[in-house]
């Protein structure tokens, strides 16, 4: 059953609250966004364009997309596996697993980056092994990917668990008794039932992966044109007082975020009922 | 083709869900597994479907050792209380699922599958709804689709787990008849789990009554009703009134009046006896159990009375509308005499 629809505001207090919310939103979201655009185009369109096509900016975009393209599928697979385990089986330590799953939400991303430096850095636990086999993790793409994976770990799983809990196992059991193999059960029954929640989780995960700053900053080493993702690139330019460059790159990141937001809104509009059960964070 | 269940025991940690359960089902028989919740009937169904393994015992079907077969290979049609239809598939796709997932060498052609689906849609009288999704169907229609989906794989046994539990009374009754008709047409050996005694007695060829993981009694509905083997079966199959009596030679003496005793064994001395609401007569004068009329309700062809004795015990009785009970009013005092009692 649906909750009663909210009424239109009638009292002065209600109007006041709405006005407050609107002013606040304008102040903390719209104003900064407008400022980003204003700064980016401060010297006209031409400097803006040349700022975003300079080689370092392009390489930052490429790196950001590469990291997201590796980290997001990994977390999608992990998310499905974790949700499957948690909702289909009862085992000791299930509560612990669920808590650990939320850890990336609660700890600072800087720490999520530092743990990897501790493990794989020049003085880390595995330093000698890595050096001997000539594998670079920190200050290289693998480091960026694992830092991003850790930070974006919960998004897909958190989206799927409530839905799969809600749907139960009856359909899967029915499929097995009808002669379906494990493969058939997953691809013909489980996956179609969770596909929209999965898409939604992947979208959130992607947005977070592209915007990640803290963890990535620790493991990146800020090598221009090599290990700078878009958020890091923006910071570097900003610190060098290249405000057109910094805000130009920022418009790209904001653009990626807006695309994600539009897709997310479309999904919510089209499959709102299916996703409604999942709003937990 | 018959199903043989032998000495099945299943424990969950230290709780025995099933304890040494044995029974057989004849080919084409319609068997009801009747019991209160927690009696082990759903556990038994899951063991038969291969979704769980028993700790000890055997399950054979037509000479086939079922315990060596996985759930996938048992060809058991299962119907759930929750319907468990595939929500993203149409009705036709749901019915065709069991055929579509067969390995390619055993899979019928597209045309054959199509024909099977059409035949089953006709059987469940939903010929025009093949393209609908489960969410567009009523509960009763969904359960019919679930049955068609189970029948599509040409099952050796059909297992129904409280299939009508989520439906309202009228639809239940309707579907009950319809299920019995489908069973008679297809001749599939069927096991039907229910906690509703009326449903079990109405539908099944034989009823297996379960209590606390053990079989209390197996028998045809009438047999069960007329000759219950235990107080549990008697109480479970219908309303039961209980009074103390003195038994000797098949007669229950209540001090001043008496009634014949039906019992699986010869009993003598002080015993608790039971009687049904309709095995009673009401009198304006004693002897009899003195009671006041607490409520008077029409129950179909009968009048249902609740009577309360001076000690507070409540009796439920049933009488024809044109019997001595029809003139009674609330709070009238009557004397109740059972015409037949059961003792265990």
Burial (0-12, 13-18, 19+ Cβ within 10 Å), A177: buried
| Closest chain A residue to B101, measured at CA | A180
> Taking the model in full, what pTM does it have?
0.80
List of chain B residues whose C-beta atoms are within 8 Å of the C-beta of residue A183:
none
Rg, Å, chain A Cα set:
22
DSSP A196: H
Contacts (Cβ under 8 Å, ≥6 apart) of B161: B42, B45, B78, B79, B80, B81, B193
**pLDDT for residue B217:** 93
Considering CB atoms only, which of B50, B73, B101 is closest to A184? B101
The answer for A 164-183 residues in CB contact with B (under 8 A) is: 168, 170-171, 173-181
pLDDT tens, chain B, 344 aa long: 589 999 999 998 888 889 999 999 999 999 999 999 888 898 999 999 999 999 999 999 988 899 999 999 999 999 998 899 999 999 999 999 999 999 989 899 999 999 999 999 998 889 899 999 999 999 999 999 999 999 999 999 999 999 888 888 888 888 888 899 999 988 999 999 999 888 999 899 999 999 999 999 999 999 998 899 999 999 999 899 999 888 888 888 888 888 888 888 888 888 899 999 999 888 888 788 888 899 888 888 888 989 998 898 899 999 888 887 788 888 888 888 998 999 88
Burial (0-12, 13-18, 19+ Cβ within 10 Å), A82: buried
Contacts (Cβ under 8 Å, ≥6 apart) of B98: A178, A179, A180, B149, B150, B152, B153
Rg, Å, chain B Cα set:
24
For range A21-44, the mean pLDDT:
90
CATH assignment of A43-280, among 1.10.3720.10, 1.20.1440.230, 3.90.380.10, 1.10.10.10: 1.10.3720.10
C-alpha torsion angle, residues A53, A55, A60, A62 (rounded to 10): 80
C-alpha torsion angle, residues A249, A255, A256, A257 (rounded to 10): 110
Residue ranges covered by each domain of chain A? 8-40, 43-280
List of chain B residues whose C-beta atoms are within 8 Å of the C-beta of residue A170:
80, 82, 84
List of chain B residues whose C-beta atoms are within 8 Å of the C-beta of residue A189:
86
Residue B74, classed as helix, strand or coil, is coil
Q: What is the pLDDT of residues A167-220, one digit of tens each?
A: 889 999 999 999 999 999 999 999 999 988 898 899 989 989 998 988 888 888
A189 touches chain B (CB under 8 A): yes
Considering CB atoms only, which of A170, A176, A179 is closest to B80? A170
Interface test with A, best of B86, B87, B154, B161 (most A CBs within 10 A): B86
d(CA A206, CA A183): 27
Contact B143, B164 (CB under 8 A): yes
List of chain A residues whose C-beta atoms are within 8 Å of the C-beta of residue B51:
173, 176-177
């Amino acid at each position: 059953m649906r909750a009663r629809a909210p009424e239109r505001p009638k009292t002065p207090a209600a109007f006041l609250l709405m006005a407050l919310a609107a002013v606040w939103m304008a102040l903390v979201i719209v104003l900064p966004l407008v400022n980003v655009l204003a700064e980016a185009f401060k010297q006209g369109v031409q400097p803006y364009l040349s700022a975003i096509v300079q080689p370092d900016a392009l390489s930052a975009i490429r790196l950001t997309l590469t990291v997201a393209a590796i980290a997001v599928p990994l977390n999608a697979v992990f998310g499905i596996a974790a949700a499957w385990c948690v909702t289909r089986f009862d085992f000791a330590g299930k509560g612990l697993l669920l808590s650990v799953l939320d850890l990336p939400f609660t700890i600072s991303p800087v720490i999520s980056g530092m743990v990897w430096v501790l493990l794989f850095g020049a003085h880390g636990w595995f330093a000698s092994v890595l050096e001997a086999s000539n594998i670079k993790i920190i200050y290289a793409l693998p480091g960026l990917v694992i830092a991003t994976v850790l930070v974006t770990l919960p998004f897909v799983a958190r989206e799927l668990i409530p839905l799969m809990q809600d749907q139960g196992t009856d359909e899967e059991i029915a499929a097995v008794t009808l002669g379906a193999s494990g493969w058939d059960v997953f691809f013909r029954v489980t996956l179609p039932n969770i596909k929209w929640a999965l898409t939604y989780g992947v979208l959130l995960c992607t947005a977070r992966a592209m915007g990640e700053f803290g963890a990535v900053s620790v493991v990146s080493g800020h090598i221009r044109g090599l290990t700078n993702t878009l958020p890091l690139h923006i910071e570097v330019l900003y610190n060098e007082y290249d405000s057109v460059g910094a805000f130009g790159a920022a418009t790209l990141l904001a653009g990626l975020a807006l695309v994600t937001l539009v897709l997310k809104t479309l999904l919510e509009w089209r499959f709102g009922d299916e996703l409604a059960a999942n709003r937990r964070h | 083709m018959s199903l043989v269940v032998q000495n099945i025991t299943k424990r969950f940690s230290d709780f025995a869900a099933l304890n040494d359960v044995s029974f057989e089902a004849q080919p084409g028989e319609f068997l009801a597994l009747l019991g209160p919740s927690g009696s082990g009937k759903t556990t038994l169904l899951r063991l038969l479907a291969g979704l769980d393994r028993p700790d000890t015992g055997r399950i054979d079907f037509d000479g086939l050792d079922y315990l060596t077969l996985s759930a996938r290979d048992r060809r058991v049609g299962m119907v759930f209380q929750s319907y468990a239809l595939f929500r993203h598939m149409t009705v036709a796709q749901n019915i065709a699922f069991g055929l579509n997932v067969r390995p390619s060498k055993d899979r019928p052609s597209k045309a054959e599958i199509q024909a099977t689906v059409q035949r089953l849609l006709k059987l469940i009288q939903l010929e025009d709804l093949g393209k609908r999704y489960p969410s567009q169907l009523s509960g009763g229609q969904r359960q019919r689709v679930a049955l068609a989906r189970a029948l599509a794989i040409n099952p050796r046994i059909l297992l129904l787990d409280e299939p009508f539990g989520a439906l309202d009374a009228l639809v239940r009754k309707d579907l009950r008849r319809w299920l019995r008709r489908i069973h008679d047409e297809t001749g599939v050996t069927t096991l039907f789990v229910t906690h509703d005694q009326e449903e079990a007695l109405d539908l099944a060829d034989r009823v297996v009554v379960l209590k606390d993981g053990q079989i209390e009694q197996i028998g045809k509905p009438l047999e069960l009703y007329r000759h219950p083997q235990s107080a549990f079966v008697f109480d479970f199959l219908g309303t039961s009134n209980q009074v103390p009596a003195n038994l000797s030679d098949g007669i229950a003496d209540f001090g001043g009046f008496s009634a014949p005793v039906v019992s699986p064994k010869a009993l003598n001395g002080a015993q608790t006896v039971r009687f049904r609401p309709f095995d009673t007569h009401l009198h304006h004068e004693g002897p009899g159990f003195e009671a006041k009329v607490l409520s008077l309700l029409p129950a179909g062809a009968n009048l249902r009375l609740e009577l309360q004795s001076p000690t507070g015990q409540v009796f439920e009785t049933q009488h024809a509308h044109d019997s001595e009970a029809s003139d009674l009013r609330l709070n009238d005092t009557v004397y109740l005499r059972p015409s037949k009692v059961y003792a265990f």
